[in-house]
Amino acid sequence: MEANYERTRYEARMRLRRKKKLIKAAKLLSYRVIKSLIFIVIGMILGFLLAHKTTGTPSEAENLTSLAPKPEIPVVSDAPKKIQVLLDPGHGGKDTGSEAAGTPEKTLNLSIALLVEEELKNAGIEVEMTRSSDQTVSLDERAALANENKVQAFVSIHQNSFKDDRSIRGLEVWYNDVKSSGAAGSRKLADAIHTYAKQTAGTSDRGTVPDEKLKVLRTTTVPACLIEVGYLTNTTDKNLIFSESYQKELAKNIARGIQEFLQSLGTSAE
């Protein structure tokens, strides 16, 4: 009887112990399940937020950016720009012009013309040269280049000389106001260039000169003039013309005169 009682108590204790183990195991399992569920939920939330940020409703800053006007892309045209000014360095190639101190006039003309070209290009003006190196270009070719391109100003650059009287010196600007189709404009162009060129330091001024005989002016049908910078036969003029600083200042003033003339036409820079 006592043995049976002890056995019953032992079995009750064992059942209680197993019950406690089951309860503990259930709690552990529940904890692990809940923990896994929490991670799953967090993962889903993070995934949703990332997807919303990438493809969802744009932010206020993005909205403002989308409403901002898009920059216009400039259209590049292959069409050549209209030549506004044609510079003509006198002589060239076999035609040397006059000479001073072993230097031919053609070299001095080109040197000054290149400086004027640079000034005009810096001002945004479309400019071309009848020659940009030591080459022979006929008078007919020079005039034809100006006429065919219908330039707004043709400016020829030369040096003067007069061996019979070496005391004569000074700047002259020649134009044809009678036989040239660009007559009215030619006088205006000559006056504009003369106004500024004569201001170049050291320059002696001999004014503007109307002329009907110079072929390069007679055969052009656009506003045209010819600048005689100075007399190579005069020592003072020769020294000025050979001076780099004088050439640069003169070139700036010639360019200023051309710009003023173009402005009077309403087409200073295109």
**62, 63, 67, 73 alpha-carbon torsion, rounded to 10°:** 20
The residue that leads in pLDDT, 140 or 25, is 140
pLDDT computed for residue 230 by the predictor:
98
Q: What is the CA radius of gyration of the chain?
A: 46
Q: Residue 123 in contact with residue 269, Cβ under 8 Å? A: yes
154 forms beta bridges with: 86, 224
CA distance 208 to 191: 7
Q: Where are the domains of the chain?
A: 2-62, 85-265
Buried b (16+ CB within 10 A) or exposed e, 2-13: eeeeeeeeeeee
CA distance 109 to 134: 10
Q: What average pLDDT does the segment 95-111 reach?
A: 98
The residue that leads in pLDDT, 1 or 150, is 150
Does residue 38 carry a pLDDT above 80?
no
In tens, the pLDDT along 141-191 reads 999 999 999 999 999 999 999 999 999 999 999 999 886 667 789 999 999
- The gap from C-alpha 53 to its chain's centroid, in whole angstroms, comes to 44
**128, 134, 140, 144 alpha-carbon torsion, rounded to 10°:** -20
Domain 85-265 CATH superfamily = Zn-dependent exopeptidases (3.40.630.40)
pTM of the predicted protein model? 0.71
- State what percent of residues in the chain have pLDDT above 90: 64
Question: Strand 99-100 vs strand 103-104: parallel, antiparallel, or unpaired?
Answer: antiparallel
In tens, the pLDDT along 211-228 reads 999 999 999 999 999 999
Residue whose entry in the numeric block shows the structure tokens 């700036």: 252
